[in-house]
Structure 1
Amino acid sequence: MNYKSLFLLLIIFFTGKSFAQLQPYTTEANTQEIYQYLLYTPNKKQEQYPLVVSLHGGANSDTDLNIVKIHGIPKRIAEGKDFPFYVFAPLNPNKKGLWNGRQIHQMVMKLADSLPIDKKRIYLTGLSRGGEGIWRVAVNHPDTYAAMLSVCAADIPMIYIKWAKNLPVWFFHGEKDAVVPVEQTKDAYKILKKLNPKTKLTIYPHATHDSWTETYNNEAVYSWLLEQHL
């Protein structure tokens, strides 16, 4: 075997090792919908791990599970990034519809019961339509989740935001977003900040709708998230 062949085999081995951690699964929900999802298991061995629930945006809803890897935390993992927490990244089966927040919560609870997950450190994050999805999960189950990253959320239920007043939230948005108005995030931040001093806001002055790339590439975001617990 020549050096070139050996080098290619090593690339395949180490790349495959990283990619294999993001495993695909399929389950039938109580709504009789078929949900596909990716589950990342951390490398570091410990008794319990945090869990991050990651919901993709509306443009990525499809039947191909690989689409989930295009943005956010799943993209970072697919690129070889290791995280010290489980990641649950489902695919929205409703290509033009909203996320079923009730179903996502039920799936999260099943994972929390079947895996070594620290139930005091379950986190929510979502971008665009996925941001809207995690808000509906949060306001309906405010005592379950330890913190949330709200990235250019497509819709924030202002009338119910007080239900999540004890939930630390870090908002992110692009100032030049022409898809989802940045004012919505700013207004939600103002309301929640009065109720919870742990509320944070980051506005990217030159970003359009893509405020997720800079957010999920920022290691400080994960440090803050993992500091939060029930």
Structure 2
Amino acid sequence: MSIEQHVYATARAGLPYLFAPAQGHSGAAPLVVFLHGARDRGNDLTKLLAWGFPKYVNEHAPRPYYWLALQIPEDSTWPEWQDELFALIDKTRAVHDDIDRVLLSGFSLGSAGVWQIASSHPERFAGLVVVSGRVPDAVGREGLARLQHTPVWVFHGDADDKAPVAGAAEAVSTLQSLGAPARLTLIPGGDHFIADEVYGSDELQHWLAVTRAPSTATA
């Protein structure tokens, strides 16, 4: 076990969160922030640790990146907690001064949060990983255009019946038409719940460790 469990006290609520330090690295390291899906909302971190990215981080060390996952309350969405998320990121960076950039990843509801939060504040993120997610209508082409300098890797199951793959493919196509460093990986036969396979990929883990956006290298 390598994950720490904490509660972040905010004016609105005490928000549980998971944190894992970087290990086995020298010099600067990224901070990878994970936004969970709808079914993992609440006040119980064991729900996050049961699968996907949190499970991977908890079971695999060393990792050449810091890792952070906030848990938001039931019946809420990620943009509603953006201020608290940014405050926790900034607090983490103040404590660990070897963090030189931040990458944002999300699954399902968390992926919608990634699109919306990152397109509103592209200067804060050096890369995005989007898993099984829709692009919110509020983002649109204008929001995607703000990500034209941000590396984006989208993963989607080609048999996903909860968030059809067409939306993910269209978003990547739009980003590529804008010159963005965006890529789409389809999981053959994959349904909505592909997170274990995606985050267990050695290629993705390497990408998380080395990726930086040219215009946001110290974001």
TM normalised by structure 2 equals 0.88
Tell me, yes or no, if the aligned pair for 1:72 and 1:213 is still in contact at 8 Å: yes
TM normalised by structure 1 equals 0.84
Whole-Å Cα distance in 1 between the matches of residues 180 and 8 of structure 2?
39
In the TM superposition, what are the counterparts of 1:174-185 in structure 2 within 5 Å? 174-185=157-168
Deviation at 1:106, TM superposition (A): 2.3
Higher relative contact order (CA 8 A, sep 6+): 2
Whole-Å Cα distance in 1 between the matches of residues 25 and 199 of structure 2?
24
- Provide the residue aligned with 2:4 in structure 1: 23
| Residue 97 of structure 2 is aligned to residue 116 of structure 1 | yes
Aligned pair partner of 1:98 in 70, 73, 77: 77
| Residue 165 of structure 2 is aligned to residue 207 of structure 1 | no
Which amino acid counterpart does residue 77 of structure 2 have in structure 1?
A: L
Which amino acid counterpart does residue 114 of structure 2 have in structure 1?
A: I
- Provide the residue aligned with 2:106 in structure 1: 126
Whole-Å Cα distance in 2 between the matches of residues 177 and 64 of structure 1?
27
In the TM superposition, what are the counterparts of 1:1-230 in structure 2 within 5 Å? 19=1, 21-30=2-11, 32-44=12-24, 46-93=26-73, 95-99=74-78, 100-119=81-100, 121-156=101-136, 157-159=139-141, 160-229=143-212, 230=217
Count of residue pairs brought into register by the alignment: 208
Whole-Å Cα distance in 2 between the matches of residues 136 and 114 of structure 1?
27
Moved >4 Å (runs of 4+) = none
Deviation at 1:29, TM superposition (A): 2.3
Deviation at 1:47, TM superposition (A): 4.2
Whole-Å Cα distance in 2 between the matches of residues 131 and 78 of structure 1?
21
- Quote the RMSD (CA, aligned, Å): 1.7
User: Which SS does the other structure have where 1:164 is aligned?
Assistant: coil
Percent identity of the aligned residues? 25
After superposition, the Cα gap between the structure-2 partners of 1:179 and 1:61, relative to the gap in structure 1 and judged at 3 Å, is same
Whole-Å Cα distance in 2 between the matches of residues 164 and 154 of structure 1?
16
Deviation at 1:132, TM superposition (A): 1.1
User: Which SS does the other structure have where 1:96 is aligned?
Assistant: coil
